[in-house]
Amino acid sequence: MTLLSFTKMTVTCFPLTSDPPLSSASADLDIGVFDRAPSPSPSTSASYDDDSDEDEDEEERNHRVAPCWQSYRQLFESHGYHLDTCKDVRQFYINYWEARNVQHSLETYAGYRSARREDRDENELCRDEGLPERLFRGKRLSDNLQIVIKAVHRRSRELDVITALSTPPLRDDPMNHCIPVLDIIHAPLDPPHAFSHGAYRDQLSFVIMEEWSSEFIPPDQPHTLRSYLTSLLHCIQHITFMHTHRFAHLDIAVRNVLTDYAGRYAYIDYETSRRFCRPPVEIEQGEDPHSSVLVHHPRATEVPPEVEKGHSTSPYAMDVWALGMLISKAGMSTGYAVPELCPITRSMLEPQWEKRPSAKVVLRLFGEAILKISEERLNSAPYTSHPKPAVPNH
């Protein structure tokens, strides 16, 4: 039986590579990739324990922001980035459907209707109403690469995590599947005393990211079990990577995984992510799970049972639960039934968080499960397919 190679498929988000998705040409499986876990980097040692409640200053630094984007337009231009205007949005829709040679009514899209309103100047900024106010679309002027800009507080945990993941040596690890970050721009502090108490709203930073798609499996492209397992592998690898370096994502969900339509998958949304003083406890080695760090009242899309009951939990075990939910929901939405993965997801969704496997163990079990799948199945289409028309991001 010929098996797919995950080692050749592994994608490094930083710097960008052109590694292809899994294909039948990748025939040899090196199971060692599933046992591999990077050593913690010294850069993560100056981290904090999340066992205490936040003070008011920390809450203010970490709440979502809604900047006046027009005020920062020149700042972005000076760094080589352009925010979408009404003219840009109108042209985007026209080009999108012309490229597909499809007759489609542009008036069905609210974004297009908003951009072509008679009372709007074509050079006026045109924010995508489907995005939160903290996000804005645009492009890099040097090559017209489509981007998304996210506004965050300069001293927020989110920026701390994104900066660490986007900086060598963590940036260059092939298990790091964070959305490619092109730049981080700090807004000028105004007034000069902006670091005084209560003035965190004036300390904005902007994370410049590549624009990828939220379609877990591209609806207008052929896909196989091989490509589906590739997406799951990237999801598991990144969480294993984060946990090894003492980070927890804390909001793992299908909507927070994007693809570049070229076989790469990446996580976004590190708003609730944190870094901790201690790595995950290796429960499978018989150590006391209660020696792990605990979080209280975390906010997340996928909430494990212990949190629903008002109990504290391990941030790493919480991630494993959410990752299990992601795998389950991805299978339902894509039409793939993979019996070999069922025992793994059952263990990840164990009601008692102390009994859940670590992300590192999940990665190993995933690799062992793949060994049981034939080449014929790997190249098969989903058992149940629910095709949807492609929809532009705007």
Q: Are 337 and 331 in contact (CB under 8 A)?
A: yes
Write down the pLDDT at residue 119.
61
- Please give the single-letter amino acid code of residue 149: I
Complete DSSP assignment for 261-279? SSS-EEE---TT-EE-SS-
pLDDT at residue 97 in the model: 73
Residue 4 confidence (pLDDT) = 42
Residue 34 phi, psi dihedral angles, 5° rounding: -80, -20
Task: Give the pLDDT confidence score for residue 184 in this predicted structure.
Answer: 98
Q: Give residue 32's pLDDT.
A: 34
Query: Residue 40 has what pLDDT?
Result: 44
> What is the DSSP code (8-state) at residue 28?
-
Burial class of residue 345, CB neighbours in 10 A (0-12, 13-18, 19+): middle
Low-confidence ranges of the chain (pLDDT < 50): 1-54, 56, 191-201, 283-286, 288-290, 384-390
SS3 210: strand
Pick the CATH number of 32-50+214-378 from 1.10.620.20, 3.40.50.300, 3.20.20.105, 1.10.510.10: 1.10.510.10
Distance CA 28, CA 378 (A): 13
Distance CA 379, CA 228 (A): 10
Residue closest to 313 by CA, chosen among 346, 344, 281: 281
Q: At which residue do the structure tokens 């490509």 appear?
A: 227
267/302 Cα distance (integer angstroms): 15
CA dihedral 180, 61, 126, 120 (to 10 degrees): -170
> What tokens were used for 79?
């760094």
Predicted local confidence at residue 23, as pLDDT: 31
pLDDT value, residue 24: 30
Radius of gyration of the chain (CA): 22
N-terminal to C-terminal alpha carbon distance within the chain: 44
- Say whether 328 sits in a helix, a strand or coil: helix
| CB neighbour list of residue 192: distance below 8 Å, 6 or more residues apart | none
What residue spans in the chain does CATH classification 1.10.510.10 cover? Answer: 32-50+214-378
